[in-house]
Chain A
Amino acid sequence: HSSYRQDTTPLFDTSQLSIASPCTETFNVMATGELNPNHYPARRAAQVVQHYLNTRYGSPFRLIGVQKVHSANAEDVADSGRKYQLELSVKETISNTTENCSAELFFPRGVEQHSPKVQASCEALLKIDTKAQEEALYQEYKRNQSLVSAQNLPDSHGRIAPDMEPFWQLGILASSFIMLNESNENTLYNVAQVANITQLATEDDQLKFDCHTLLHDMVSQEIIHWKLLFTWSPPEGVKVLQMEKLPHRHEQEEPPNTN
């Protein structure tokens, strides 16, 4: 059960180790049954619920985050995947309201990468009234002669200009569709930064945006670049028209002036 090197004496003082025994579970076997709500399997599943809730209930003035996982349960479903059940509390970040929710997730397994399926009911979130703010934002940018464009939300120092905050939120909402699609039991996604969000002209009543977003996956620690085309209006919410993963950028290609 140990993984000492075979060729030489151990490179470290083994008196500082006590081998967990029996070592029956390898680290590739996922926990099943009742899960510890503080451990990573429940935490990762809760994050997927967060992305789902933002795609369903989110708006530029309603952004949802996981507050705490109260209980979690996982079971294998034949050979097709794994099902999770969660009891969690979520927080809407602007109004600071908290709600308890139940959620069920299914992570499919197979040769092709499938997106997780989520069912969650947090109806109280809809009761947070953002209609007036949404309408005001919509009218302002529908009427505006010039098209809004913002970069680096937040910037290197964590700053976002107050009038750009709704666009940061929109960027996060649109990114939630990607994060939901891309999630599995070995990922934990957050938006690291909305690198660019640019309004495009439209003929219809939607606001339309081109967006370059940087996702951080905690598990691999990678920063993944995505480009998105999406629309938004108060009645329709966010609709993603196109999404495209950008190739891994090699920092070596951009030598900056470090002095």
Chain B
Amino acid sequence: MLLWRYDALPLLLMSLMYFVCNRVEYDYYKYHPMSEITSWMEQLVKDHPDVVTIVKYGKTYENKDISLLKIGLNTGKEKKAIWMDCGIHAREWIAPAFCQYFVRQILQTYKTDAKMEAMVKNMDFYVTPVLNIDGYIYSWASNTTRLWRKNRSPGPSDCGCNGTDLNRNFDANWGTVGVSFNCCSQTYPGSKPMSEPEARSVADFLGSRKDSFLCFLTIHSYGQLLLVPYGHPNYTAPNYDELMMVGLGAAEAIWKVHGKNYTVGTSPDVLYANSGSSRDWARLQGIPLTYTFELRDKGTYGFELPEDQIQPTCEEAYSGALHIITYAHDKTFSGAVATSAVTLWTVLLAAGVTGATLM
């Protein structure tokens, strides 16, 4: 009898531990293949059914579903929104890693942080962890495909290469600068604007909702840059000053985390001229605050950023993104609060001056 009890105890403990530990914590500081990202998304909906839903909004060339996570406290009315997409370019693995981290942060902080709670109440966050799914999967296939950039649609019939650069395919000054019409080129913009299903998916989803969106953030690597519209050197966004001011604020927030410098400016100023980018398209739709994030590093590891840099990169980028999102939110929602505060002070001051009592 005693022997049985001693035998049973470790078994019991092991079973208990297995039960508890079977739900392995998702490792946000490792790169995940597409299948794991999809499972993670599904698990999030199970874990946070009141705040998270999955929206399938299109199909890739290879007919895979393009999905986003919609995060928000449902108030039942059409809400203002924030857009974030990652992984337009397959080889930029740190970008999908950041989208996943970003979602985790929102879900971890909205219950305890009053500001985040307010933002999640007032706005919906639409996050696409991997936009170019076919390309991302291809970049995981072998050592020789790791540095693939484009999607996986076939080139023109007389072309020996495939793939279109999705970030040159949007209908925004399409095909004018920063592209090569050689279909083997990494910046091949496609046969025509929005020829690619992945680009059309974004446009179709956002097109009907564009007035709701305050902010459009598209995440890339590498270079440590925050890029504002437009990619064409002859065009300036009407709110360029605001974009720069908020961008510089974001860069400062980034620097405060781990001391990394991110340069802020238009593409033609700080990187190169380009056309057909998702950011430019979003700005042309009227979404006021649109930014391209180019995450770490500056070329030492480039696209193959070591996993031990995932955490610091995500932490600093989160700080930067939050700065922009908070600005967008406060501009839209704190106006009422500010007005009533002004009114209150005016009344108090007036009462003070006249000596009138308020009671």
Footprint of B on A, CB under 8 Å?
A: 1-3, 11-13, 15-20, 23, 25, 27, 36, 38-40, 43, 47, 65-66, 68, 93, 151-152, 154-159, 190-193, 195, 214, 216, 218-223, 248-252, 254, 256-258
Contact = CB atoms under 8 A, between A and B. Distances in A.
Given A220-B187, A223-B147, A16 B286 contact: yes
B236 A258 contact: no
A191 B299 CA distance: 7
B265 A154 contact: no
Interface of B: 31, 137-138, 140-149, 160-163, 165, 171-173, 176-177, 180, 184-187, 193, 223, 230, 232-238, 261, 263, 265, 268-273, 283-286, 298-307, 309
A251 B306 contact: no
B306 A154 contact: yes
Nearest to B229: A16
B304 A222 contact: no
A159 B238 contact: no
A216 B273 CA distance: 18
A27 B178 CA distance: 11
B147 A40 contact: no
Nearest to A2: B234
A158 B141 contact: no
Contacts of A256: 138, 141-142, 144-145
Contacts of B176: 3
A172 B291 CA distance: 32
B31 A16 contact: no
A167 to B, nearest CB: 15
B237 A16 contact: yes
Contact of B270 (A20, A39, A251): A39
Contacts of B171: 11-12
Given A154-B306, A157-B306, A193-B304, A18 B236 contact: yes
B188 to A, nearest CB: 10
A254 B184 CA distance: 15
Contacts of A19: 234-236
Contacts of B283: 16
Given A20-B233, A154-B306, A250-B184, 8 more contacts: A17-B230, A20-B235, A25-B233, A40-B271, A157-B307, A191-B302, A193-B147, A218-B272
Given A12-B284, A19-B234, A3 B173 contact: yes
Contacts of A65: 298-300
B234 A20 contact: yes
The SS class assigned to the A binding surface is: loop
B300 A38 contact: no
Contacts of B163: 251
Given A19-B235, A218-B223, A157 B304 contact: yes
22 contacts: A3-B234, A12-B284, A15-B238, A16-B237, A17-B284, A18-B238, A39-B270, A47-B299, A151-B143, A154-B304, A158-B301, A158-B309, A192-B302, A195-B143, A218-B271, A220-B180, A222-B186, A223-B147, A250-B160, A251-B162, A256-B138, A256-B145
A17 B239 CA distance: 10
Counting chain B CB atoms within 10 Å of each CB, which of A16, A38, A66, A254 scores highest?
A: A16
Contacts of B270: 38-40, 43
B130 to A, nearest CB: 14
A121 B148 CA distance: 38
A66 B177 CA distance: 28
Nearest to B172: A12
Contacts of A20: 233-236
A93 B234 CA distance: 39
The 10 residue pairs across chains A and B that have the minimum distance between CB atoms? A158-B306, A190-B299, A256-B141, A221-B186, A12-B284, A27-B233, A158-B304, A154-B304, A156-B146, A20-B236
Contact of B304 (A12, A155, A250, A254): A155
Counting chain A CB atoms within 10 Å of each CB, which of B223, B237, B302 scores highest?
A: B302
Given A38-B265, A221-B149, A250-B160, A18 B237 contact: yes
Nearest to A160: B306
A157 B140 CA distance: 10
B304 A156 contact: yes
B137 to A, nearest CB: 6
Contacts of B271: 40, 218
